[in-house]
Homo-oligomer: A and B are copies of this chain.
Amino acid sequence: MEKPLILVTNDDGITAPGIRKLISIAKKIGEVYVVAPDSPQSAMGHAITINSTLHIEEMKLKGGAEFEWSCSGTPVDCVKIACDKILPRHPDLCISGINHGSNSSINVIYSGTMSAAVEAAIEGIPSIGFSLCDLSYHADFDAAEDFIEKIILQALKNKIQKSWVLNVNIPKLKKSKIKGIKVCRQAHAKWDEEFEVRKDPRGRDYYWLTGKFVNLDQGEDTDEWALENGYISVVPVHFDLTNHQAIGELNQWGF
């Protein structure tokens, strides 16, 4: 049987330890093409490059995949240019990450890692974004390895639907402390902004975006609950943003 074709991308850049680990896992399972940003692109959301140009560059990295390309654009640009210019055929799966830091609950919407995965699904490529809840560059990705491999194999075995996206977050725990994998919904949460104001050398104010994460959701079926309780969370995500439940009420406004 032909090996599955797997597209690997991320938002931390092609040399980040998280994607290097994900590539090593993917190579055990399939034929791997890597198309990832040439520089960090965290929090780029679903941005695409329309007012500027893109460069791509074939790369060889030690222990990497046979086919690796860096791209000067955003994570979503990487998926788009991979589909149009790099991949030899429609891939069986796209995997994105392993992100350095959580993409649970509302973070999914700011995340370049998850937006790349969502873009793949828009292109008809089922996809999985992986994130480790540890922002450190030198985070320990080893504990997550077997779980990630298992989730990828399950997705392929169960013929994951073309439009599906899974948002997988892994708690910062030793392997022996991880209790298992839980299917969840996205917790209702937000960031409370606290912009830090400073003075530049010419006396002008400038701002750094900082904030405090606030979980507004007490449910025990959420990704935040799962992570706080030692589980890996898996949230199915989709690109239909319609609030279907609101349609009835909205029709009564009488436009």
A interface residue numbers (CB < 8 A to B): 40, 42-51, 53-56, 74, 76-77, 80-81, 83-85, 106, 108-110, 115, 118, 122-123, 150-151, 154-155, 158, 161, 164-167, 180-183, 185-186, 188, 190, 193-195, 197-198, 204-209, 234-244, 246-247, 250-251, 253-255
Query: Could you say how many copies of this chain the assembly holds?
Result: 2
Determine the distance from Cα of A165 to Cα of B246 in the docked complex, in whole angstroms: 10
Select A40's contact among B51, B206, B240, B255, beta carbons within 8 Å: B51
Distance to closest chain B CB from A55 (angstroms): 5
Known: A110-B46, A206-B53, A209-B77. A122 touches B190 (CB 8 A): yes
Distance to closest chain B CB from A205 (angstroms): 8
Determine the distance from Cα of A242 to Cα of B118 in the docked complex, in whole angstroms: 12
Q: Which residues of chain B are near A243, meaning CB under 8 Å?
A: 164-165, 236-238
Q: Which residues of chain B are near A253, meaning CB under 8 Å?
A: 154-155, 158
Nearest to A119 among chain B residues (CB) is B109
Q: Which residues of chain B are near A40, meaning CB under 8 Å?
A: 51
Nearest to A211 among chain B residues (CB) is B80
Distance to closest chain B CB from A10 (angstroms): 16
CB <8 Å contact, B206 and A115: no
CB <8 Å contact, B207 and A53: yes
CB <8 Å contact, A115 and B48: no
Determine the distance from Cα of A51 to Cα of B209 in the docked complex, in whole angstroms: 9
Distance to closest chain B CB from A86 (angstroms): 10
Determine the distance from Cα of A255 to Cα of B207 in the docked complex, in whole angstroms: 44
List, sorted by A's number, 15 A–B pairs whose CB atoms are closer than 8 Å: A40-B51, A46-B110, A46-B115, A80-B193, A150-B255, A155-B253, A164-B246, A165-B243, A183-B247, A185-B240, A234-B255, A236-B250, A237-B242, A237-B243, A238-B246
Q: Which residues of chain B are near A76, meaning CB under 8 Å?
A: 45, 110
Distance to closest chain B CB from A75 (angstroms): 10
CB <8 Å contact, B47 and A43: yes
Distance to closest chain B CB from A194 (angstroms): 7
Distance to closest chain B CB from A237 (angstroms): 5
Determine the distance from Cα of A172 to Cα of B57 in the docked complex, in whole angstroms: 41
Beyond A81-B193, A123-B190, list 20 extra A-B contacts (CB 8 Å). A40-B51, A42-B51, A44-B47, A46-B109, A46-B115, A47-B74, A54-B208, A80-B193, A84-B195, A85-B197, A122-B190, A154-B253, A154-B255, A164-B246, A165-B243, A166-B250, A183-B247, A236-B242, A238-B242, A238-B243
